[in-house]
Structure 1
Amino acid sequence: MPSVQAEVSIGEHDPAAGGDEQIAYGEYVLRAGGCVTCHTAQDGEFLAGGRPIESPFGVFYGPNITPDEEYGIGRWSEADFKRAMLEGRGPDGRHYYPAFPYTSYTKMKPQDVEALWAFLQSEVEPEARENTPHDLVWFARFRPSLVGWKWLHFEPGTFEPDPDQSEQWNRGAYLTLALGHCMECHTPRTRTGGLDLERLGAGARLPDDDVAGNITPDRETGIGRWGERHIARYLEMGLTRDGDFAGGGMADVIDHGTSHLTDEDRRAIAVYLKSLDPIAHEPD
């Protein structure tokens, strides 16, 4: 597959233009959206699924999103894909588990979803890898209960820029809250599995005992002592303010995702994160 070039950005490629322009931007969306990390197993084929995702409700496995017609999304229509990304529903109408972060993707710009679809259909090799069934606790297997979960925790709707903020700030907010879905891991969860919005970005201990750190600008427990350049460098190279390298799941996020972003987009994320209200919270 083609590699993402540093110059690929929203400012230089029109995702609505179609053809090669749209496909090039679609690959960029794939990287910014963290798709590779969850949909590619260790030493597995690109986007062919099988990556385990631990949760309090059991282990989910990222599905095959290659254009294979039997095991992937080769028989999907573009409308099916948009419904999955923006509404959390499959082609057969069933509700997806929120291990798939459609609660953030729902805020994606339609042209970004369309560009991602174009890339997946035209540039990704179909892989005939059967999806691994989820291994969940008994009560989580009852999919109709997801209707109630979505009623409590899912608010569909496209990201709306804040007119009182700069274009750079809004770009960073979009990448963090929608496309990059950073808050899905970096926010504590409520007892019903929704994001604790009063502690948005304040860090959380993940089910695999990894820690998604506090990314609010609290000086003691968060990134308050980090400058914008430190954050941008971390997203590019995985190098912390103190000179250590990222480990755990964040290493994969950087390797397969944020390291492929433009300098401008990494700096936009830094600008947005530094603008958040600081929350003093150390993940348990």
Structure 2
Amino acid sequence: MKKAAIAIVMLVLAGAGVGWGLSAPTRISGSEAAALKEGDAARGELVFWAGGCASCHAAKGASGDDLLKLGGGLRLETPFGVFVAPNISPSTADGIGSWSLVDFANAMTHGTSPDGENLYPAFPYTSYARMSGADLGDLFAFLKSLPAVDGKAPPHELGFPFNIRRGLGLWKRLYLDPAPVIAAPAAGVEVDRTLWERGRYLVEGPGHCGECHTPRDLAGGLVLAQWLGGAPAPTGEGKIPNITPVENGFGSWSAADIAYYLESGFTPEYDSVGGEMVHVQENMARLPASDREAIAAYLKALPPVPTASD
């Protein structure tokens, strides 16, 4: 009996040790860190708008130059609790002013903070993990050029067990993958491959479209088999639409319709963009026309996915 009890204790301790090791925060490799270069702020501004940084990190209702004051504070109410967007301005005391480019790359692509904590995926690093090192360097250069904003954002409001950051390391092993979601255009669709690949990069990477348009499982991970097939709104009531080319839905839009919608905010029926998509459309309108065309080409060449149910 005593031997059995000891064996059980040893198994529990071994399991705990394995779990502790597997949940450890990860970082970019030494070769990846060495390849990072300080970027160009002008190019970084385009990455900034593609990534929608201001939508979460600027003050609610901000416009004009205030969109570049990234003091955080936006509350994201989810089934897991309330996440609060942090200050990512160049403030040394309260923002990311003391971060290195490697620190920034670790946060963006591995969800790991400079002090070695796992970051919550309300920050869409599962998408940003697909970003290139050049874009990370450019974006970091642009962020450093913005006004420093004093004041830390309030802490997240999370109950047990979601307030235990270490457990996110196991979550990341399941859901953090820098590989493309869609390997190639759907069979039978004629498309300029270079344009399509640019669209894939923007949608799956900095644009993080899947974070809202793809349903999630009970653990909060994206169900990639239903990529962009629509989902319940992650921070409130309502439904995020299916943007794959399904019949009697988004499939009726042409590539030109999609590109124009991203530029103007008008649908083919001349309805106006609404809800959270307002911010996304305003960001996309700042990109070159060729990028909006690339996004449209990617979306039109996706395999249709049945609209996900609530």
TM-score normalised by the chain length of structure 2: 0.80
Name structure 1 gaps, 5 residues minimum.
1-15
Contact 2:56 2:74 in 1 (8 A): yes
* 1:153 and 2:180 are equivalent in the alignment: no
Partner of 1:271: 297
Tell me if the contact between 1:41 and 1:51 (Cα under 8 Å) persists in the aligned partners. yes
Q: CA deviation at 1:160?
A: 10
* Identical amino acids, percent of aligned pairs: 43
| Matches of 2:117 and 2:252, distance apart in 1 | 45
Q: Is 1:258 equivalent to 2:284 in the alignment?
A: yes
* CA–CA separation in structure 1 for the residues paired with 2:295 and 2:165: 35
Tell me the equivalent position of 1:201.
228
What is the alpha-carbon distance in structure 1 between the residues aligned to residue 180 and residue 132 of structure 2? 6
The partner residue of 2:83 within 60, 82, 96 is: 60
Specify the alignment match of 1:132 in structure 2.
Answer: 154
- 1:83/1:89 contact within 8 Å kept: yes
Residue from 68, 91, 99 that aligns with 2:114: 91
Larger Rg, first or second structure (1 or 2): 2
Tell me how far 1:59 sits from its aligned partner: 1.4
Whether 2:214 is the aligned partner of 1:214: answer no
Is 1:175 matched up with 2:202? yes
Match of 2:5 in 1: none
Is this contact kept in 2: 1:108–1:159, CA < 8 A? no
Counterpart for residue 236 of structure 1: 263
Give the secondary structure class of the aligned counterpart of 2:271: coil
Cα RMSD over matched residues?
2.2
Which region of structure 1 is more displaced relative to structure 2, 235-244 or 101-110?
A: 235-244
Please list the CA deviations of residues 122-165 of structure 1 after superposition, one character each: whole Å capped at 9, or x if unmatched.
x2000002112111232210111101111111124689986996
Contact 2:71–2:89 (Cα < 8 Å) also in 1:
yes
Asked if the contact 1:32–1:261 (Cα under 8 Å) also holds between the matched residues in 2, the reply is yes
Which residue number in structure 2 is paired with residue 226 of structure 1? 253
| Counterpart pick for 1:40 among 58, 64, 68 | 58
* Segments of 4+ moved more than 3 angstroms: 16-19, 156-165
One-letter amino acid of the counterpart of residue 271, structure 1: A
Q: 1:159 to 1:69 in 2, by over 3 A?
A: farther
